[in-house]
Structure 1
Amino acid sequence: MVICPRCGQPSLYAPSNPARPFCSMRCKDVDFGAWANEEYRVPDESAPLADDDAEAN
């Protein structure tokens, strides 16, 4: 058993659960919708471009 990353309920992590690691297809679909709507973001840790560099590109 694992915890569903969407709702926090226990979820069976086995081939018999097509929604794994989610507890249901609903949680899987809601999570996919959040990705599609760009609700999850990866932080950008790169250095900001200087004004001179931005004009050169």
Structure 2
Amino acid sequence: MPAKVNCPTCQNEVTWGDQSPYRPFCSKRCQLIDLGEWSSESNTISTPMSNELQGADADAFIEEVEAMLAKSGESFFKE
């Protein structure tokens, strides 16, 4: 059974799976609202990120992200 998460923008429930292309957001609109908040610096990371992923772990993570992006077959920002 796919996991359920709340949309970070509007808090609507979203199924984490292929049927939800904007996950963790419920829609393109919520995704773009979040992007706007980051670009206007309304959202920030409060502490510097640590380099927890190093070596083979980092390589595996990068490969996983690249595979996920290749699988989607679409640009992240296309409608």
TM range (shorter): 0.5 to 0.7
Query: Which residue of structure 1 lines up, in the alignment, with residue 16 of structure 2?
Result: 13
The residue type equivalent to 2:42 in the other structure is E
Distance (Å, rounded) in 2 between the aligned partners of 1:28 and 1:18: 11
TM-score (norm 2): 0.51
Q: How does 1:20-31 map to 2 (within 5 A)?
A: 20-31=23-34
- Structure having the higher helix fraction is 2
Structure 1, unaligned stretches of length 5 or more?
Answer: 46-57
Larger radius of gyration: 1
| Higher RCO (CA-CA < 8 Å; seq separation 6+) | 1
- Report % sequence identity: 36
TM-score (norm 1): 0.67
The alignment yields a C-alpha RMSD, in angstroms, of 1.5
Q: How does 1:1-57 map to 2 (within 5 A)?
A: 1-44=4-47
Compute the displacement of 1:44 (Å): 4.7
The residue type equivalent to 1:17 in the other structure is S
For each residue in 1:15-51, what CA deviation from the matched residue of structure 2 results, as whole angstroms up to 9, or x when unmatched? Answer: 2211000111110110011111111122257xxxxxx
